[in-house]
Amino acid sequence: MESQIIVTVDVVLLTLSEGALKTVLLRRDNEPYAGQPALPGGYIHPGEDRDALAAAGRVLRQKTGLVSPYLEQLFTFSGGVRDPRGWSVSVAYYALVHESLLGPGPRHHFELAPVDALPDLPFDHNRIAAQAAQRLRDKSGYSALPCHLLPPAFTLRELQQTYELVLGSSLDKSVFRRRLGELDFLEAVPDAVRQGKHRPAQLYRLKPQARLALFNKTM
Amino acid sequence: MESQIIVTVDVVLLTLSEGALKTVLLRRDNEPYAGQPALPGGYIHPGEDRDALAAAGRVLRQKTGLVSPYLEQLFTFSGGVRDPRGWSVSVAYYALVHESLLGPGPRHHFELAPVDALPDLPFDHNRIAAQAAQRLRDKSGYSALPCHLLPPAFTLRELQQTYELVLGSSLDKSVFRRRLGELDFLEAVPDAVRQGKHRPAQLYRLKPQARLALFNKTM
DNA sequence: GAAATAGTGTCTGTAAGACATTATAGG
DNA sequence: CCTATAATGTCTTACAGACACTATTTC
């Protein structure tokens, strides 16, 4: 029969924690692989979900309690062998949040694992997570994407450190700030500074519409 | 019920013809929208298709007779309103071919329409085609993608003209060739030149493995 | 005022862009 | 030998990268 295809969404929820890129894993409630840690995922509910993006948002909300961070379609994984229940399609998304959104203290329903050293996950979740990390790293090379790994307001130093962690290389402060100035997707938060042990730093936030500013490409 | 979801693939088959980017449209055999021009598409066959990519290749082969040109996943479109039959998921792909692959003379089963002036298409096929064209144009800015719009062997001038058509801007010959030299994804075809009215030009082809060379990005 | 971080300025080498020159074919 | 295209070379300027310097806070 044509339409006995399993249709799900999976979400790779990424954050920076302890200086590394990590992803949220949940212990599965249901078979298959019940009890094992896996990416948050679930069936699309045709009666409830407007589209797959909405389904991903709902799954994330129901399973982790988080509401609509940055959420973007990653890739669609499919085939006859990736799910023991049968031929399946999973529309995968990736989300970026600041660690503080995950709540303080010990995790309740979920755990964080470094994307570069994940345990063996069910289905093709290792592939999905690896591809999400790759996408984030690629896109961070030419866009403002890493901003979404920070809280709503942040200092330029924090932003630079975020880029450095994601890209895995160090950047020159002066060059970095020149770029930001040219692109004009940040605005200073009026009268807001971060206090530290020394000179306070101006806080910045993303400009309202500029959710994904792009840098210059060549050719 | 959860799983009464329609699962299809659609293919945006792009080519350069008469100096413009065009896409292949087919008259639909079946309802809904039977008889109307639309993107090549069809159900996934779980018993037959290894995954959605294979399904896209099969659909393309069965409906246009073309075998495996450049074929890449574009985006997955989904929702309750895009298909009158019900909640649906379409995994969309885009393919690039040289016009000569489409066969000479008047088209038999299909027609070519400019992506920038498409008629009203069924489903959300206008959105899908627009997104495919956008992806090609974006990626052409920093990759070797436009090579796949040419025949297997081509001159540097033809390659430059292809880039110019896709990008919609003119490029400097000297700069263009410097870039190609740095990236090293082309090789000269030995003893092969294109004869014209004047000095013959060396023919080039993609190096075996280098299907998608990337240019430099910043940050 | 010492130390540390924030923020800006200056210099230099490299490479992009614009243009010129040489090379090779046909008429 | 003229013209058209192929292919390569030269020059100038803009900018990336490296580094220095100034500013502002705490202790």
Residue B218 with chain A: CB contacts under 8 Å: 141-142, 179, 215-216
d(CA B99, CA B160): 17
pLDDT digits (tens, 9 = 90+) for B26-44: 999 998 999 999 999 999 9
Residue B91: inside a domain: yes
Does some domain include residue A37?
yes
The residue segments making up the domain with residue B81 are 6-140
The answer to whether residue B218 sits within a structural domain is no
Region of poorest pLDDT, from B5-14, B63-72, B151-160: B63-72
Distance CA A7, CA B105 (A): 42
| 3 state SS for A150-190 | CCCCECHHHHHHHHHHHHCCCCCHHHHHHHHHHHCCEEEEE
Is the Cβ pair B215, A217 closer than 8 Å? yes
Integer distance in angstroms from CA A188 to C1' D24?
A: 18
Q: Does residue B141 or residue A89 have the better pLDDT?
A: A89
Measured from Cα to the C1' atom, the residue closest to D25 is A199
Choose among A50, A69, A52, A72: nearest CA to A61.
A69
A121 and A65 housed in the same domain: yes
**Domain check: are B162 and B128 in the same one?**
no
Asked if B96 and B174 sit in the same domain, the reply is no
Is A32 part of any domain?
Answer: yes
Nucleic strand C interface residues, CB < 7 Å: A 155-157, 173-174, 177, 194, 196-202, 218; B 172-175, 178-179, 182, 197-200, 216
Q: Are residues A119 and A70 in the same domain?
A: yes
> Looking at residue B2, what is its pLDDT?
44
Q: What is the pLDDT of residues B108-135, one digit of tens each?
A: 678 999 999 999 999 999 999 999 999 9
Judge whether A65 lies within some domain. Answer: yes
Asked if residue B105 has pLDDT above 60, the reply is: no
* B4 interaction partners in chain A (CB closer than 8 Å): 3, 46
B213 domain-assigned: no
pLDDT band, very low/low/confident/very high, at B210 (cuts 50, 70, 90): low
pLDDT of B208 strictly over 90: no
Do residues A15 and A119 both lie within one domain?
A: yes
Co-location of A24 and A81 in the same domain? yes
B88 with B192, same domain? Answer: no
Q: Which of A70-79, B189-198, B204-213 has the highest mean pLDDT?
A: A70-79
Which of A99, A124, A140 lies at the terminal end of a domain, its last residue? A140
Q: For all residues of chain B together, what is the average pLDDT?
A: 92
Shared domain check, B123 and B36: yes
Count of structural domains, chain A: 2
The band of B181, judged by pLDDT with boundaries at 50, 70 and 90, is: confident
Q: In order along chain A (219 residues), what is the average pLDDT of each group of 10 residues?
A: 81 96 96 96 97 98 89 98 97 97 73 97 98 96 94 96 95 95 90 91 89 68
Residues B126 and B169 grouped into a single domain: no
The CATH code of the domain that includes A188 is 1.10.10.10
Whether B27 contacts B145, CB under 8 Å: no
Domain presence at residue A1: no
Nearest nucleotide (CA of B171 to C1'): C17
Is B198 found in the same domain as B176? yes
Residues B180, B91 within the same domain: no
Helices A156-167 and A173-183 sit at what angle, rounded to 10 degrees?
Answer: 100
pLDDT greater than 80 at residue B46: yes
For residues B77 and B158, state if they share a domain.
no
Q: What angle do CA A194, A196, A199 make, to 5 degrees?
A: 85
Q: Residue A57's pLDDT is what?
A: 98
Q: CB atoms < 10 A from the CB of A106, how many?
A: 6
- Classify residue A195: in a domain, yes or no: yes
